[in-house]
Amino acid sequence: MENSIYKRLFKLVIKYWPYLVVSTLTAFIYVALNSMSVWLTASLINNILSDFDKLVNEQTQFASSSLLTLNEKLKYWTNGLILRETAKETLQVLCVSILIIFLLKNVFLYLKNITLTIVQFRLITELRNKLYIHFHKLSLSFFNQHKSGELTSIIVNDVENMRRTLTTSFQRLFVEPISIITFTGLLFIINWQLASISVIIIPIAGFIIINISRSIRRKSRRTAVKIAGITNIITETLTSMRVVKAFAMEDYEVGKFLRQTSNYYKLIFHRTRLASLASPITEIMGVIIGVALLWIGGLEVLSGQGLTSEDFIRFILIMFSALQPIRVLSNVLAEIQVGAASAERVFGILDIEPSIMDEVNAIEEISFHNEVAFDHVFFQYNDGEEHVLQNISFSLDKGTVVALVGSSGAGKSTVADLIPRFFEPTSGVVLLDGIDIRKIKIKTLRQIMGIVTQETILFNDTIAGNIAYGQDDISIERILSAAETANALEFIERLPKKFDTVIGDKGVRLSGGQRQRLAIARALLKNPPILILDEATSSLDAESEKLVQQAIEKLMVDRTVLVIAHRLSTVVNADKIIVLKTGQIIEMGTHDQLVASEGVYRSLYKVQFSR
- Cα separations (Å) of 567 from 321, 487, 584? 81, 21, 20
Q: Cα-Cα-Cα-Cα dihedral of 476, 478, 482, 483, to 10°?
A: 20
Whether 606 shows a pLDDT value over 70: the answer reads yes
Band of pLDDT at residue 215, cut at 50, 70 and 90: low
* Short-list 86, 91, 85, CA closest to 43: 91
CB atoms within 10 A of CB 361: 8
499 and 518 Cβ atoms separated by less than 8 Å: no
* Short-list 120, 229, 129, CA closest to 165: 120
pLDDT tens per residue, range 338-373: 777 778 888 888 888 877 888 888 888 888 888 888
516 and 456 Cβ atoms separated by less than 8 Å: yes
pLDDT tens per residue, range 417-471: 888 888 888 888 988 888 888 898 888 888 888 877 777 777 777 888 888 877 7
Q: Say how many CA atoms lie within 13 Å of 287 toward its Cβ.
A: 7
* Short-list 312, 350, 290, CA closest to 191: 312
* 182 contacts: CB under 8 Å, gap ≥ 6: 31, 32, 35
pLDDT, mean over the chain: 76
452 and 539 Cβ atoms separated by less than 8 Å: no
The strands making up 576-581's β-sheet, listed across from edge to edge, are 449-453, 530-534, 560-564, 401-405, 576-581, 584-589
Band of pLDDT at residue 519, cut at 50, 70 and 90: confident
* Short-list 157, 507, 200, CA closest to 346: 157
pLDDT tens per residue, range 20-60: 788 878 888 887 887 777 777 766 666 665 666 666 676 67
444 and 366 Cβ atoms separated by less than 8 Å: yes
Question: Mean of the pLDDT values across residues 514-540?
Answer: 75
pLDDT tens per residue, range 565-587: 776 666 777 888 888 888 888 88
Q: Reduced to 3 states, what is the DSSP secondary structure of residue 55? A: helix
Rounded CA separation 123/414 (Å): 40
Whether 243 shows a pLDDT value over 70: the answer reads no
* Short-list 489, 537, 481, CA closest to 513: 537
Q: What are phi and psi of 321, to 5 degrees?
A: -70, -35
Band of pLDDT at residue 265, cut at 50, 70 and 90: confident
151 and 135 Cβ atoms separated by less than 8 Å: yes
**Which of 78-82, 126-130, 398-402, 446-450 bottoms out in mean pLDDT, i.e. has the lowest?**
78-82
pLDDT value at residue 451 = 79
Q: Reduced to 3 states, what is the DSSP secondary structure of residue 327? A: helix
Global pTM reads 0.66
